[in-house]
Structure 1
Amino acid sequence: MEETKGFYDMCIPFNKDEKIMREMCKELIELGYKTIAIEQQFDHSKKENVKRSSDIFPEPVNIKWLQEEFKNKLKILQRLTIIYVDVAVAHAMGNSLNLKKFNLIAGQPKTDAALTHCCTTFNGDIVTFDTNAGIRLNVNRKAYQVAVKRGVFFEIKYSPLIADSSCRKDMIKVAHNYFVKGKSRSIIISSGATNVFELRGPYDVANLSFIFGLSEDQGKCAIDRFCRQLFLRAESRRVGKTVMFVKASGPVVFSDSSSDSDEEEVAIDDQSNKMETDDLIKFSKDSESDANSDDNENIKEQPNKKKKMF
């Protein structure tokens, strides 16, 4: 399984220009990020995409050159965001082999029915939204609770808040809806940035989370611990196995050779033999004392006999 480290940015849109992608990765490293996800989008609502005879979902773009260039500095994952309007996408996802090639799967619903499906039965990891239509979609309390129990995370993107002032109110309203319906649980914050000027450092993002109604702890977890949990859940879904980590609570000492174990066994045998000898000595002493006490009692019980005179 792949290893990841914080801080995380789970939404960096893919750009065909290699120069822009390289500049984005360098800026993310300077800001302190260790793990990012390159996003591809697929609109399932378009008819030309649905009528494809083979696997309708695209294969991941080739970013091996980018992963090799930043191999020891930045962990680069691949993510697919599926835009859809009805539940028919579930059948297509069940028959797709390309989806397993992505590390993360996100759902971007365009209707209220699709939003409810995305929270309850969508076989993905993230629920995201379009900043232009996000104000018209409000998740209900029950669907939010089901999504939290399933381990699905809700995503908030901060780059539209910086780039476009008209989207700022819409984003705050959506974030406030998450707070009212589910107390802002299972929230991650991503950039969604298309250029380096829209990127912000992890601590700036944590401070920005107060605008979205998140607490200090939730703001830190939104770019670190929750993203780690999201990755582990996605790996479990992708490979069909549960991920488990075991960590020692104290120092572990290993012997260098078998001589240590032999010496320990000899010491244990000597100690056991000594204990057995002590028990035998104690038992013999107890037996002698019991015999002496019985003789004394017999002497006391015998009557005084008179001597015969001849």
Structure 2
Amino acid sequence: MFYDLNVPYSSDDPEISHTLNFLAEIGYTTVALSQTISGKLPPNLAPPTVPVNAPKSLKLLTRLNLILADPSQNQRLTSLTQAYDLVALRPTNEKSLLNACTNLECDLISLDFSERIPFHFKFKMLSAAIERGIRFEICYGSGITGSGIDARRNLIGNAMSLIRATRGRGIIISSEAKRALGVRAPWDVINLACIWGLSQERGKEAICEETRKVTALAKLKRTSWRGAIDVVYGGEKPKVEEGQSKKKGATKKGAPQTEANADSLKRKAEPAAEEAEKSLSKREQKRRAKKVRLDGAGDGAADDKTAS
């Protein structure tokens, strides 16, 4: 599964259908449609509608790119995670990068590598972001689609310095291509990563495993409690149909009633026998006792004859 988590998109973009079809043809399975905003956040911010004619084999995500110059202007980052699948920050100076790495809630830090970055990357600052689950993104589209020699040179130099500072960890690679011509196949992207200083395994992880982790962590932040606890199965009882529940209730109620009826019949029969014995007179009782004795004596004489 190959991911491209940065494809610029607007609702009136005529090239988006061609770009998505081309991404599906060359092997990508998940694509994030990005929207870029600079400055203060508008009050009602929502992702644009997803294109209807997108290939069915692609899983489309929504993403917000926020250009960050002054962190104090953007205090609604936590609420944006509920509206967008991914939230990426693009710092423009070292102070905003430090704030994004240590304090701000986001999924990605995506720097503009087509321009010369006026500060050096520090391992301690970048490792703090990686420990928080934030990944750094390298976008190759600006250095491929004819932006000039300077943009290509800046892309290579900035990518190499980022890889060197992060020790090759926590990096993903995206296209940021506005047209299909700016997109490259997954194995071409891996070759680019090898040129920048990543190994082939790390290059493949940058468009497969690391990108999958980004989407999974972002989903966990949206659906779980504080990004740590998620209820997968709550142990709900299976629904029982009304007819079956009535039958079960009738059988359960019927069993105690039959037992109670049997007990009542036994209790009624026992007093009747006692009353019958009490109603016999003394003469009748003596006659029955004498008959029993005579029957016993007759049986004993018959036994003696047979023995002799």
What TM-score do you get using the length of structure 2 for normalisation? 0.69
Aligned pairs for 1:62-81 (under 5 A) are 62-63=49-50, 65-66=52-53, 69-71=54-56, 73-81=57-65
The residue aligned with 2:174 is 190
> In the alignment, is residue 121 of structure 1 matched against residue 103 of structure 2?
yes
Q: Residues 180, 131 of structure 1: CA spacing in aligned structure 2 closer, same or farther, 3 A cutoff?
A: closer
CA distance in 1, matches of 2:115, 2:11: 26
Kindly state the Cα deviation for residue 70 of structure 1 after the two structures are TM-superposed: 2.5
> Gaps spanning 5+ residues in structure 1: where?
1-5, 247-310
**What is the DSSP-based 3-state SS (H/G/I as helix, E as strand, rest coil) of the residue aligned with 2:28?**
coil
**What is the DSSP-based 3-state SS (H/G/I as helix, E as strand, rest coil) of the residue aligned with 1:221?**
helix
The residue aligned with 1:147 is 129
The residue aligned with 2:88 is 106
**What is the DSSP-based 3-state SS (H/G/I as helix, E as strand, rest coil) of the residue aligned with 1:65?**
coil
Structure 1: 4+ residue segments shifted above 6 A: none
CA distance in 2, matches of 1:63, 1:221: 27
The residue aligned with 2:47 is 60
CA distance in 1, matches of 2:87, 2:20: 21
The residue aligned with 2:269 is none
> In the alignment, is residue 39 of structure 1 matched against residue 26 of structure 2?
no
> In the alignment, is residue 239 of structure 1 matched against residue 223 of structure 2?
yes
Q: Residues 115, 34 of structure 1: CA spacing in aligned structure 2 closer, same or farther, 3 A cutoff?
A: same
Identity %: 30
Aligned pairs for 1:222-301 (under 5 A) are 222-241=206-225, 242=228
Q: 2:150 aligns with which of 166, 169, 186?
A: 166
**What is the DSSP-based 3-state SS (H/G/I as helix, E as strand, rest coil) of the residue aligned with 2:163?**
helix
Kindly state the Cα deviation for residue 205 of structure 1 after the two structures are TM-superposed: 0.6
Kindly state the Cα deviation for residue 91 of structure 1 after the two structures are TM-superposed: 2.2
Q: Give CA deviations for 1:32-76 in whole Å, capped at 9, x if unaligned.
A: 0000000001102xxxx45x5x35xx211011524xx433x1100
> In the alignment, is residue 91 of structure 1 matched against residue 86 of structure 2?
no
AA of the residue aligned to 2:178: T
What TM-score do you get using the length of structure 1 for normalisation? 0.68
Conserved? CA contact 2:69–2:96, under 8 Å: yes
> In the alignment, is residue 12 of structure 1 matched against residue 10 of structure 2?
no
Conserved? CA contact 2:3–2:29, under 8 Å: yes
AA of the residue aligned to 2:167: K
Q: How many residues align?
A: 227
Aligned pairs for 1:173-212 (under 5 A) are 173-212=157-196
> Gaps spanning 5+ residues in structure 2: where?
233-308
CA distance in 2, matches of 1:209, 1:202: 11
Conserved? CA contact 1:110–1:133, under 8 Å: no
**What is the DSSP-based 3-state SS (H/G/I as helix, E as strand, rest coil) of the residue aligned with 2:153?**
helix
CA distance in 2, matches of 1:150, 1:181: 17
Conserved? CA contact 2:11–2:48, under 8 Å: no
> In the alignment, is residue 215 of structure 1 matched against residue 179 of structure 2?
no
Q: Give CA deviations for 1:196-229 in whole Å, capped at 9, x if unaligned.
A: 1111100111111112211111000011011101
Kindly state the Cα deviation for residue 162 of structure 1 after the two structures are TM-superposed: 0.9
Conserved? CA contact 1:7–1:32, under 8 Å: yes
Q: Give CA deviations for 1:167-203 in whole Å, capped at 9, x if unaligned.
A: 1121122112223322121110000001111111001
